[in-house]
Amino acid sequence: MGRFVPSTLAFILMLGLGPAKAGPDAIKIGVLNDLSGVYADLGGQGSVAAAEIAVEEFGPTVLGKPIKVISGDHQNKPDVGGQLARRWFDVESVDMVIDFPNSGVALAVQEIARSKKKIAIYSTAATMDLTGKACSPTGFQWTYDNYSNAAGVASALVKKGLSSWYFITVDYAFGLSLEAEASKAVKAAGGTVAGTARHPLNTPDLSSFLLQAQSSKAKVIALANAGGDTVNAVKQAHEFNIVESGQTLVTPVTFITDVHSLGLAVAQGLTFVTGYYWDLNDQTRAFAEKFYKRRNAMPTMAQAGVYSGVLHYLRAVKAAGTDDGPAVAEKMRAIPVRDAFTQTGTVRADGRMIHDMYLVEVKKPSESKAPWDYYKVLATIPADEAFKPLADSDCPLVK
């Protein structure tokens, strides 16, 4: 079924996707993400719902001002995302923007938010540059990044003997960064990279890339992509019997919506790192129950990260006694992150929120006891091990 996608100009004028304009007498939060494309399932309207749940839990006001949530579709285009963010800051009096399931869009908005001294929280963008060379005093990377989801898995698999890797990579900032981080880990563990193939974003037919990877004879075929691209690649790999033929398929950035779309018969055995799983404890289940009532689905780690980022931002506004961006950013770094997403979170000088991550494996159909009962948690990766060490950061704020 086709979707109507407005032109860039028309879309920028259609900013009334959330509640009515609140003006300077409100705290206004903008969820900026992919509402209609390849990343809509892992973020999309679910991220908007997660932000709204956070506001409901915090309360309707902060500093005596009502809290408003609006949303916009960046269409996975940095120019569209940048123009939306600029208009939100300049015209719509938005105080904070969040989500960004596209690293190119995130990097564009990072510079705009920096210049406007506004808070930007990246729940879904994974490029290391956001807390590296492009870090910002008011920018925060929240849920995961390419190091957290690539380095640990790559190192562990090489040590198990899966030493030669072939990458199928989405050809923009996110995929290139993910490939780079995984490649470093593979080589550091004594493995080799047999080759790479790069595909455009939102490619429905990945068969030629998979056949190149299959013919390479590499022990591991790693998918340096996400969302719909990952789902398509896994389905087509299943059709080619790649795993049955002896190669291992690795999907470093995988969301529960991907597994749901694939089904356990196809997804079983996939191993990856996640920042959140709905069935970890009473707190994760409580948030998931609220989310399910709105969306008829369990939250992804990205959507849970939006919930956490919004809640922490509002707590920082309250603690700062102001909605001034730099002052709020200072409090965000000072206050520990404790919510249904994490009980171990802290925010570093480079803007990276570190927290425990989880190595999981997708269950076999026979192991799943209920709808959305998809993961076996193999190990907890402590916060200080899950993310790139601060000492290795190239963020100017750290230097």
Per-residue pLDDT of the chain (399 residues; tens, 9 = 90+): 333 344 443 343 344 344 333 446 899 999 999 999 999 999 999 999 999 999 999 999 999 999 999 999 999 999 999 999 999 999 999 999 999 999 999 999 999 999 999 999 999 999 999 999 999 999 999 999 999 999 888 988 898 899 999 999 999 999 999 999 999 999 999 999 999 999 999 999 999 999 999 999 999 999 999 999 999 999 999 999 998 899 999 999 999 999 999 999 999 989 899 999 999 999 999 999 999 999 999 999 999 999 999 999 999 999 999 999 999 999 999 999 999 999 999 999 999 999 999 989 999 999 999 999 999 998 899 999 999 999 999 999 997
The Cα–Cα gap between 153 and 160 comes to 11
* Dihedral (CA of 15, 21, 25, 29) sign: negative
DSSP alpha helices (H): ranges in the chain?
Answer: 8-13, 44-58, 78-90, 103-116, 146-159, 173-188, 207-215, 228-239, 256-262, 264-267, 282-295, 301-320, 325-334, 383-386
* Dihedral (CA of 361, 362, 367, 369) sign: positive
- Write out the two tokens for 353: 């929120």
Element (H, E) at 222: strand 220-224
- Strand 139-141 to strand 119-122: parallel, antiparallel, or no bridges (unpaired)? parallel
Q: Which CATH class is domain 148-275+358-386?
A: alpha beta
DSSP state of 3: -
Report whether 78 contacts 107 (CB < 8 A). yes
For residue 3, the model assigns a pLDDT of 37
For residue 18, the model assigns a pLDDT of 40
Best CATH choice for the domain 8-144+281-356 from the list 3.40.50.12160, 3.40.50.2300, 3.30.565.10, 3.40.50.720: 3.40.50.2300
Q: Where in the chain is the domain with CATH 3.40.50.2300?
A: 8-144+281-356, 148-275+358-386
Indicate the SS3 state at residue 10.
helix
